[in-house]
Chains A and B, each alone.
Chain A
Amino acid sequence: MPIFAAPFVDGAAFALYTIHILVSDLYKLETKKQRKAVDAILKASFPKLREKLLEALQAVLPIAAIVLVLCFTIAPVSPSILLCFLLGAAMIVLGIMFFTLGAEMSMTPMGERVGAVITKSRKLPVILGIGFLLGFLITISEPDLQVLANQVPAIPNTTLILSVAAGVGLFLVFAFLRMLIGISLPRLLVLFYSIIFLLAVFVPKEFLAVAFDSGGVTTGPMTVPFIMALGVGVSAIRGDRHAADDSLVWWPCAPLAPFWLCSFWASYSAPRTAPISRRCCRR
């Protein structure tokens, strides 16, 4: 086996193991009948996969076209970089196709069921605690956030991701509270944005733009289906007249929280960056 293949084999084994856990732990493949059921699910998802492929192409092709036109006219880049871009674009199209369908198939039902179950428990600490945990965990797996974190030079990836995730978790708690109590949205928005811009005065300038951006990327392809579904689950249990309106409105403030937390983090612990990142490191 060539040397370069070693890490690949290692990674592939790890991936296979993970998929194995996913499939066999959640759904034990013991009988032929059950195996057939999975086949049926896979087959049923193919037409949708085609639909998602079209959507992904729609997202990537215009940009690829603009880049090509620029490269052929006013921006002289080397052919190797152009090739790199095209191969990357192809992988992105495939990637978007798979994960948008995957998120719809898995995140939506997960969010809905979990939301309904925790509201049914009728215990506020449980609802709020689990709300925080769910917001935290789903944000960790958000691809947009990972892409952003990779580009921020000053802050270690894990630190940024974890602090933004904690921010989303925190705001999910507020959103749950809002939903259960029923405060009007505009007032809450005024309150939170005032706090944000007040904080913005004290935050070091270098973190300002990054913090605002990290708020923008929290509404990505993983978090939106999951948290939306969570809201639907919660409001379905509450089941009063305003529930439907609330499930529409509760989510959108989530991007504010990471900014808030990020700026706190930035203003208080910037000099201590290294030890924090080491403490937070999961891997």
Chain B
Amino acid sequence: MSDSVELWQLFHVSLPTYLKEIAGSLLPIIVMFGIFQFVALHMDGRSLGRIAVGLAYTYVGLVLFLTGANVGFMPAGNYLGQVLAGQSFRWIIIPIGMLIGYFIVKAEPAVYVLNKQVEEVTDGAISAKAMGTALSAGVSISVGLAMVRVLTGISILWFLVPGYVFAISISFVVPKLFTAIAFDAGGVASGPMTATFLLPLAQGACVAVGGNIVTDAFGVVAMVAMTPLITVQLMGLVAQLKTRKARQAQHAAAQAFAFAGLADDDIIEL
């Protein structure tokens, strides 16, 4: 690529492909809904109009997103991974992955909803901010581990089996509500940015290290998706302990207060 016109050509050439592809992938669900509308729904014009406008937005958005991701974002991520892991200090990919993991969760809009939900459920024992920090830290660690996999080629089962066993076994201890929220949140952390940037980065790094892309680089998304299951439930456990402690402290304080009024040499009848 030598000039800016060629740069635009790169995107321009693949745009029609995606225009057709997305039309093809949206059409089935639209046809299905159309059939429903005729047979059973009979929605009024106003809500249909809203849906039609929404679908048009979705179409335009998906075309832009996929073109941008496939032509610009992913090749660059892949190349960057290669450059980073190709240097003598290839371990640098681990802290970089962790940093990116930290921000990927912060950026996901659905995560804010989740944090608020946790704060409400726990009556403020776990603040939204604490929840956000815990999630970010969790995802950061799991992306770091994924990068360790890229460099070493350890099987993904070594991470996923203990992770899921732990997540499921504490689900029997943790209050039910937290389990529900946690498994709800699994999908929240792995948004579009994970697939479009983190995965290509891992692939590039894998190429530079000389590993097997299919076994070592993939698995990033799965690792990120697993983290909230553990983090949210752990926070639930913490909240439970906190309230129990608070109640005990209250109890103790009340007892101390009851005894305070007595003189030192009073005899307490039990």
Which A residues are closer than 8 A to B by beta carbons?
4, 7-8, 10-12, 14-15, 18-19, 22-23, 25-27, 34, 37-38, 41-42, 45, 55, 58-60, 62-63, 66-67, 70-71, 74-77, 80-92, 94-107, 109-110, 113-114, 117, 133-134, 137-138, 140-141, 143-144, 146-148, 150-154, 185-186, 189-190, 193, 197, 200, 205-210, 212-213, 215-222, 224, 245, 248-249, 251-253, 255, 282-283
Q: How far is the CA of A184 from the CA of B170 in the complex (A)?
A: 15
> 20 A-B Cβ contacts within 8 A?
A22-B55, A22-B59, A34-B45, A58-B109, A63-B100, A63-B104, A67-B76, A67-B80, A84-B75, A92-B65, A92-B72, A99-B62, A102-B56, A102-B57, A141-B62, A143-B65, A212-B218, A248-B181, A249-B183, A252-B184
Size of B's binding interface in residues, CB under 8 A: 123
CA distance A270 to B250 in the complex (A): 63
Closest to A108 in B: B54
Q: CA separation between A103 and B29, bound complex, in Å?
A: 12
Chain B residues with CB below 8 A from A106, complex form: 50-55, 57-58
Interface segment, B126-134, B219-227, B254-262?
B219-227
Which of B48, B108, B200 meets A59, CB within 8 Å?
A: B108
Q: Is the CB of A252 within 8 A of B76?
A: no
In the complex, the answer to whether B157 meets A99 with C-beta atoms within 8 Å is: no
- Fill in one digit per residue for B1-31: 1 if any A CB lies within 8 Å of its CB, else 0: 1101001111111011101111111111110
Which chain A residues border B67 with CB–CB below 8 Å?
91, 95
Q: Are B23 and A15 in contact (CB under 8 A)?
A: yes
A88-B68, A95-B66 in contact; A15/B49 too (CB < 8 A)?
no
A71 to B81, CA, bound (A): 11
Contact B57 A75 (CB under 8 A): no
B124 at the interface (CB under 8 A from A): no
- How far, in whole Å, are A45 and B49 apart by their CA atoms in the complex? 12
B87 to chain A, nearest CB (A): 7
Measured between beta carbons, the chain A residues less than 8 angstroms from B96 are 66, 70
Q: Interface majority SS on B: helix, strand, loop or mixed?
A: helix
Q: Is the CB of B221 within 8 A of A89?
A: no
Inter-chain contact A63/B62, CB cutoff 8 Å: no
B106-A62 in contact (CB<8A): yes
Minimal beta-carbon separation of B182 from chain A (angstroms): 8
In Å, the complex CA distance between A77 and B86 comes to 12
Q: Is B115 an interface residue (CB 8 A)?
A: no
Measured between beta carbons, the chain B residues less than 8 angstroms from A219 are 186-188, 190, 225
Determine whether the beta carbon of A197 is less than 8 Å from that of B161: yes
Decide if B73 touches A99 in the complex (CB within 8 Å). Answer: no
Complex interface: chain B residues within 8 A of A151 (CB):
74, 195, 199-200, 203
When distances are taken between beta carbons in the complex, the residues of chain B under 8 Å from A38 are: 49, 52-53
CB A242 to nearest CB in B, in angstroms, measures 11
Assess whether A63 is in contact with B187, with CB atoms less than 8 Å apart. Answer: no
In the complex, besides A14-B20, A77-B80, A95-B62, 5 extra interface pairs with C-beta distance below 8 angstroms are A18-B27, A92-B65, A95-B65, A99-B57, A110-B33
- Output the nearest chain B residue to A186 by Cβ-Cβ distance: B171
Question: Do A105 and B61 touch across chains, with their CB atoms under 8 A apart?
Answer: no
Taking CB atoms, residues of chain A closer than 8 Å to B25 are 140-141, 146
Contacts of A282 in B (CB 8 A): 24
The residues of B that contact A205 with a CB separation of less than 8 Å are: 155, 215
Tell me, in angstroms, the Cα distance from A145 to B107 when the chains sit together: 20
A206 touches B53 (CB 8 A): no
| Interface residue? B156 (CB, 8 A) | yes
Per the bound structure, the CA–CA distance linking A193 and B46 in Å amounts to: 44
Task: Give the CA-CA distance A130 to B172 in the complex, in Å.
Answer: 33
Contacts of B187 in A (CB 8 A): 216, 218-220, 224, 252, 255
Q: Once the chains are docked, how many angstroms separate the CA of A185 from the CA of B1?
A: 54
The 7 closest A-B pairs by CB, nearest first: A88-B72, A219-B187, A11-B16, A95-B65, A98-B61, A105-B54, A91-B68
In whole angstroms, what is the CA distance A63 to B69 when docked?
13
B168 on interface, CB distance cutoff 8 Å: yes
B32 within 8 A of A: yes
Contact indicator A141/B29 (Cβ below 8 Å): yes
Chain B residues with Cβ below 8 Å from A153 are 213-214
Chain B contacts for A23, CB-based, 8 A: 52, 56
Roughly how many angstroms separate A141 CA and B190 CA in the complex, as a whole number? 17
Q: A14-B20, A63-B100, A74-B87 are in contact. Are A97 and B73 (CB under 8 A)?
A: no
Select which of B17, B47, B100, B188 is within 8 A of A109 by beta carbon.
B47
